[in-house]
Amino acid sequence: MKRPQLERPALLEARDVTRLYGPGKGCEAIDFTLHAGEVLGIVGESGSGKSTLLRTLCGMEAPDAGRVLYHGHEGELDLYAIGEARRRALLRMEWGLVHQNPRDGLRLGVSAGANVGERLMALGQRHYGQLRAAGQDWMGRVELDPGRIDDAPQHFSGGMQQRLQIARTLVTRPRLVFMDEPTGGLDVSVQARLLDTLRTLVRELGLSVVLVTHDLAVARLLADRLLVMRRGRVVESGLTDQILDDPQHAYTQLLVSSVLTP
């Protein structure tokens, strides 16, 4: 069941955001508001521009035009007017990023526990016992054996590495999390269990999330609202169930029917 749509303060805004690499490559004229405690899904086929949009929203690629506004503890921030160092600090201290390939979000040369503890150290935590306890607690939360806290990430399976990356990202309880195909490339059974874990943590922590996925089943399970992208533009937006049960745009209808057709 989706959470009731209550009036919530704006957390992240895209205002006419454009980032193009060539004709039809990238994203163009994107406009939306993400509210606190909301999960916004961005869906579309490969090449639709959804990953480009995500990288622009999280401070990794400056837009060619438009603005990205974040309503943080310091008030409204224009993401590309504050400088790279401040953007990096936001991603480290107030935001989180879950990569499709967990190896992009983990440090493979240190233990599982150190991967989780590093995020807390960035916030000033230095007590070894507390860092270790947090690592074990979060490994348990993502259904990893806390007894493997000293194992290196490369000794975990792909699904377990993704769980570890999620623990590393969420241990600091970020205000805003960006997820790029968080279940992509995993076996169906592994994907199902991971999705269940993600849904539980998102709800328990009241996370605000921007989720990029090509999988409409993932979007239905996690997202409150959807943006449907095609050729760099948003062609339809609205509540997730409303869009997936009664799509209005021809492209959205095609996406939905391709999932439903055996």
In which band, very low, low, confident or very high, does the pLDDT at 22 lie, cut at 50, 70 and 90? confident
User: How much is the pLDDT for 1?
Assistant: 45
Query: Residue 187: is its pLDDT beyond 90?
Result: no
Q: Mean pLDDT: which of 70-74, 78-82, 182-186 is highest?
A: 78-82
In which band, very low, low, confident or very high, does the pLDDT at 259 lie, cut at 50, 70 and 90? low
Query: Residue 5: is its pLDDT beyond 70?
Result: no
| Higher local confidence (pLDDT), 4 or 174 | 174
In which band, very low, low, confident or very high, does the pLDDT at 81 lie, cut at 50, 70 and 90? very high
Mean local confidence (pLDDT), 227-231: 96
Nearest one of 33, 65, 59, 30 to 44, comparing CA atoms:
30
Mean local confidence (pLDDT), 72-101: 92
Query: Residue 19: is its pLDDT beyond 70?
Result: yes
Query: Residue 161: is its pLDDT beyond 90?
Result: yes
Query: Residue 53: is its pLDDT beyond 90?
Result: yes
> What percentage of the chain reaches a pLDDT higher than 90?
80
Tell me the pLDDT of the chain averaged across its residues. Answer: 92
What tens digit of pLDDT does each residue of 127-139 get? 999 999 999 999 9
| Higher local confidence (pLDDT), 37 or 262 | 37
Which domains does the chain carry?
10-94+179-260 (3.40.50.300), 109-173 (no CATH)
Mean local confidence (pLDDT), 170-186: 92
